[in-house]
Amino acid sequence: MAEFLTTTGTSHNIEQIIINSKDTLILVSPYLQLSKTLFERLKDASNRNTEITIIYGKDELKPNEKNSLAELSNLRLLYFENLHAKCYCNDNNMVITSMNMYEFSEKNNREMGVLIDKERDKELYQKAFAEIKSIIGSSDLVSNKKTERNFPPNQTNEPIKTNTTYKITNRGYCIRCEARIPLNPNKPLCGDCYASWAHYENPDYEENVCHSCGEYQDTSMNKPFCYTCFKKLKDTFSLKA
């Protein structure tokens, strides 16, 4: 018999479905944000050669999220515009729920779910699976490749030195939200992100991208650059290792 799930049970079972997936893992969720835990679980599944299909429909993925997903070799990424259903399934189990995928590691909302077992709830599983197949059939395939940052032809990623002052141009990225901001190792966050950083003022708090190339990296206020950019820029900005 299908099992009723509360918030905790729902997140537990979504995680178990990802962890215990063998051949197939299908995640249907309008809102797709990649938490670290979720990404690591997906990476493990991909390394086990599980064929992962993610169908999303609401938001645009951020470049660093796309680049992370591009590391998963067994992932098929699909977009379905009017998606509102949330459903997670592997070879043996399925959860149909109100919970979005990124919320399984946070427990802020009150959710409900139903756990379906492929063998015990055969008919139910098959009907829901047929609906997933139908959604997949009408979805658009999203290219799952790493995006490189492109700069306009006459613009490079190097800071321009005019006498001793650096010309202010938007050649950097906010290390938290990826907005284009001036390249300045002392101010690697945009105004909004700086304001939220300033609540805690933790210079080692882990951010998302390199301030210079915008690629997905573990950076921080203390270390806003990836290693390649650090080497390139250390003399210009007199950076300390």
Site residues, Zn ion (CB under 5 A): 174, 176-177, 179, 190, 193, 210, 212-213, 226, 229
Nearest-CA neighbor of 61 among 102, 24, 108, 16? 102
Closer residue to Zn ion (CB): 123 or 201: 201
Min. distance of Cβ 104 from Zn ion in angstroms?
A: 26
Nearer to Zn ion among residue 179 and residue 239 (C-beta): 179
Nearer to Zn ion, 111 or 207 (CB): 207
**Measured from the CB of residue 209, what is the shortest distance to Zn ion in angstroms?**
8
The residue type found at 133 is: K
Q: What are phi and psi of 128, to 5 degrees?
A: -65, -40
Nearer to Zn ion, 129 or 194 (CB): 194
Least spacing, CB of residue 213 vs Zn ion, in Å: 3
Nearer CB in complex with Zn ion: 125/173: 173
Residue-by-residue DSSP string for 155-179: --SSPPEETTEEP--S-EE-TTT--
Beta-carbon neighbour count of residue 72 at 10 Å? 19
Query: C-beta of 215: minimal distance to Zn ion in Å?
Result: 5
How many C-beta neighbours within 10 Å does residue 81 have? 10
- Shortest reach from residue 188's CB to Zn ion, in Å: 9
114: which 2 tokens? 């139903």
Q: How far apart are CA 177 and CA 232, in angstroms?
A: 23
